[in-house]
């Protein structure tokens, strides 16, 4: 049997009726009612029905009713119109081949009505990903990442790829994974931040990267991962952070819009997506603190927003009619060393939030090497540890800025998913290192 001539279930058309075709996939379900057996066969695009008649092909019938669920089979047969079949057609098998037999019992059901625990699903992710609704999440993810490339390239950004193994912590602090690099100590990059800035000195004045973040935070919440992905953007020759925010809000809008066009996947997930209004609301940090205090929060000026404060702010902003909003002008003391100060207390920084979840953070950066060294010291870091980074600022560095945009958090908010682990294929968190 020529199994490589497989037809996907949703690619079969009326032109195939009355013809021999070959289909292959996973056995989702089997029903044996004595003289007739039905197999629901699943492939990447959907399902189809194989109908075996005992009197016509007794040997094939015997094999079909013996096969276990989730086994992989190939069937060559007559494609026949059928108003009773789910796709309007059925396959009457003439040849049947078992490509791989699934062991029983299954560690996880694919079409079972009883939902399994998340840990059980993640432990058996290869089966979990066979579910139509889980695949829909990642098809939407593919679509929104495609829109990232389309939009940023239309704005003349160049895609780059920077190292994940680095000699110095990207952002300072202790939330880094250390590793032995031959005779030296190295780190997994918290972000491409330092390399993005170095590239601003090259003439590649607009760059972006679909990046990996590695952060050794000991969180174990529904919103945190220790390995995650992000869109990282940096651009030079800017006047202030507002230019960066305009790129970011247009990027987020385009991603949201692209997701809204995934009609089939949204129908599977029973989700509806409404487009946000542009421009997004800007709210200064001082005003945010006042709004939160007015609603009973005890947060003090100079503190970063915690999860509860973010959720409360999301509710406040929603009541004011804003789904997306920027928080701007944070205190400089709670921002990384590369953030451009404004006056004595503030910074030219921003976070983009939606519904109480922060999924992007950025700023105008410091481009003056002396000020940069001063801020490194103010953050209790040693400029000597950043020598290769600082070198890029000594020989002509234009004003620049950028942002990091968490893909999983965006997808989580977009599809109203309760746990961020659902938004990445094989999550890494405080306790999970496999599969």
Q: By 3-state DSSP, what share of the chain in percent is helix, strand and coil, each rounded to 5? A: 35, 30, 40
- Catalytic site residue from 7, 130, 141, 215: 215
SS3 8: coil
* C-alpha dihedral sign at 44, 47, 48, 51: positive
Is 169 among the catalytic positions? no
SS3 177: coil
Is 42 among the catalytic positions? no
- Catalytic site residue from 74, 297, 347, 361: 361
d(CA 346, CA 25): 59
d(CA 87, CA 71): 22
Is 215 among the catalytic positions? yes
Is 149 among the catalytic positions? no
d(CA 187, CA 178): 5
d(CA 294, CA 290): 6
Is 375 among the catalytic positions? no
- Catalytic site residue from 95, 217, 243, 318: 217
DSSP type of residue 340: P
- Catalytic site residue from 7, 42, 121, 224: 224
Encode burial over 103-130: b for 16+ CB neighbours within 10 A, e otherwise.
Answer: eeeeebebeeeeebeeeebbbbbebbeb
- Catalytic site residue from 42, 141, 365, 409: 409
Give the angle subtended at the CA of 161 by the CAs of 170 and 327, to the nearest 5°.
55
- Catalytic site residue from 353, 358, 413, 422: 358
- The H-or-E segment that residue 263 falls in is helix 263-269
Sheet of strand 184-188, all strands in order from the earlier edge strand to the far edge: 165-166, 184-188, 178-181
Is 361 among the catalytic positions? yes
Catalytic residue numbers read 215, 217, 223-224, 358, 361, 409
């Amino acid at each position: 049997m020529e199994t490589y001539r497989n037809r996907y279930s949703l690619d079969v058309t009326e032109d195939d009726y009355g013809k021999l075709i070959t289909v292959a996939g996973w056995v989702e379900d089997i029903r044996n009612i004595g003289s007739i057996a039905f197999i629901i066969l699943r492939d990447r695009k959907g399902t189809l029905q194989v109908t075996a008649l005992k009197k016509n092909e007794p040997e094939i019938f015997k094999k079909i009713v013996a096969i276990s669920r989730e086994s992989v089979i190939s069937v060559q047969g007559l494609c026949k119109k059928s108003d009773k079949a789910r796709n309007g057609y059925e396959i009457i098998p003439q040849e049947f081949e078992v490509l791989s037999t699934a062991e029983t019992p299954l560690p996880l059901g694919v079409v079972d009505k009883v939902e399994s625990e998340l840990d059980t699903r993640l432990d058996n992710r290869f089966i979990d990903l066979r579910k139509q609704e889980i695949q829909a999440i990642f098809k939407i993810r593919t679509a929104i990442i495609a829109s990232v490339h389309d939009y940023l390239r239309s704005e003349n950004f160049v895609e780059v790829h920077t190292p994940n193994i680095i000699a110095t912590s990207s952002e300072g602090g202790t939330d880094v994974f250390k590793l032995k690099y031959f005779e030296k100590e190295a780190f997994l990059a918290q972000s491409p931040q330092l390399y993005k800035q170095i590239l601003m000195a090259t003439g590649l004045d607009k760059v972006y990267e679909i990046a990996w973040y590695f952060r050794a935070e000991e969180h174990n919440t529904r919103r945190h991962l220790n390995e995650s992905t992000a869109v990282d953007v940096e651009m030079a020759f800017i006047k202030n952070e507002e230019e960066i925010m305009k790129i970011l809000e247009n990027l987020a809008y385009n991603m949201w819009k692209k997701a809204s066009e995934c009609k089939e996947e949204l129908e599977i997930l029973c989700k509806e997506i409404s487009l946000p209004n542009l421009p997004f609301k800007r709210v200064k940090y001082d005003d945010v603190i006042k709004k939160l205090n007015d609603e009973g929060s005890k947060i003090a000026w100079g503190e970063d927003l915690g999860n509860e404060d973010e959720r409360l702010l999301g509710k406040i902003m929603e009541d004011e009619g804003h789904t997306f909003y920027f928080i701007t002008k944070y205190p400089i003391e709670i921002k990384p060393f590369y953030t451009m100060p404004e006056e004595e207390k503030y910074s030219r920084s921003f976070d983009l939030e939606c519904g109480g979840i922060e999924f992007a953070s950025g700023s105008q950066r410091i481009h003056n090497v002396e000020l940069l060294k001063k801020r490194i010291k103010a953050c209790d870091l040693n400029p000597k540890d950043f020598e290769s980074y600082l070198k890029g600022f000594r020989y002509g560095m234009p004003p620049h800025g950028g942002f990091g945009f968490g893909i999983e958090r965006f997808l989580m908010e977009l599809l109203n998913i309760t746990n961020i682990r659902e938004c990445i294929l094989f999550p890494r968190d405080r306790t999970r290192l496999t599969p």
